Amino acid sequence: MATTADFRKGMALRLDKSIYLVIDFLHVKPGKGGAFVRTKLKDVKSQAVIDRTFRAGEYLDEVRLERRPVQFVYREDDNYVFMDEGTYEQIPLASSKVGDRLSYLREGMQVQLVVGDEEYIDIELPLSVELTVTETDPGIKGDTASGGSKPATLETGLVIQVPLFVTVGDVVRVDTRTGQYLERA
């Protein structure tokens, strides 16, 4: 059991026979009345986000999360198949569970699979990934004084802003949390 004082982002809770992840929370102490906690929770199965308010100090059922190293193997229809590196078991995940992180996945990539109550909840990407530039405009010589940028399409279809000196075929490092260019690899 956990209380509202234990809330942190990414924490898993069991409410109404479903597992929810804490996306955001805020402790509020009004001038009049008791304190409470406002939260944004994401349902693991339906991916729906709800707002829920709890009284301060309220007890909730916490779900323990386990992280397993897996490798992205291939895409099949609407599923993304990962292989558990310990057991070699193939685990299909629906694209709705993978979400917007699809644009960072390459075949053979190592990620962490988040498991709670023997249910596959989420995947966690590394902080940065290296992707190859497949399409971008050529930089114009002498146009670097302003430190400008241009759009570039990467091998996964992701479009990001890169410096003018980046060309087709370059491998760039991209931050998976913000989707921004970090450096040439």
- 98 sits in which H/E element: helix 95-98
- Cβ-in-10-Å burial (0-12, 13-18, 19+) of 30 comes to exposed
Q: How far apart are CA 174 and CA 184, in angstroms?
A: 9
Query: Was domain 2-63 assigned CATH 3.40.640.10?
Result: no
Assigned token pair, 32: 């009049």
Q: How do the pLDDT tens digits run along the chain, 185 residues long?
A: 888 888 888 888 888 888 888 889 999 898 888 899 999 998 877 778 899 999 988 898 888 888 889 999 988 888 889 998 888 889 888 877 777 788 888 888 899 888 877 778 778 888 999 999 999 888 666 655 566 788 999 998 889 998 888 889 999 999 988 889 998 88
Residue 143: per-residue pLDDT: 58
CB 70 within 8 A of CB 85: yes
Residue 151: other Cβ atoms inside 10 A: 11
Q: How far apart are CA 62 and CA 71, in angstroms?
A: 28
Domain spans of the chain, in order of start:
2-63, 65-124, 128-184
Q: How far apart are CA 77 and CA 81, in angstroms?
A: 10
Q: How far apart are CA 95 and CA 89, in angstroms?
A: 19
Domains 2-63 and 128-184 alike in fold: no
CB 38 within 8 A of CB 51: yes
Phi, psi (degrees; rounded to nearest 5) at 19: -100, 130
The CATH fold assigned to 65-124 is: OB fold (Dihydrolipoamide Acetyltransferase, E2P) (2.40.50)
Which of 44-53's residues contact partners 24+ apart within 8 Å by CB, and which partners? Answer: 44/12, 44/18, 44/19, 44/20, 44/116, 44/119, 44/121, 44/122, 45/18, 45/19, 47/96, 47/97, 47/99, 49/23, 50/20, 52/15
We find that the CATH architecture of domain 128-184 is Beta Barrel (2.40)
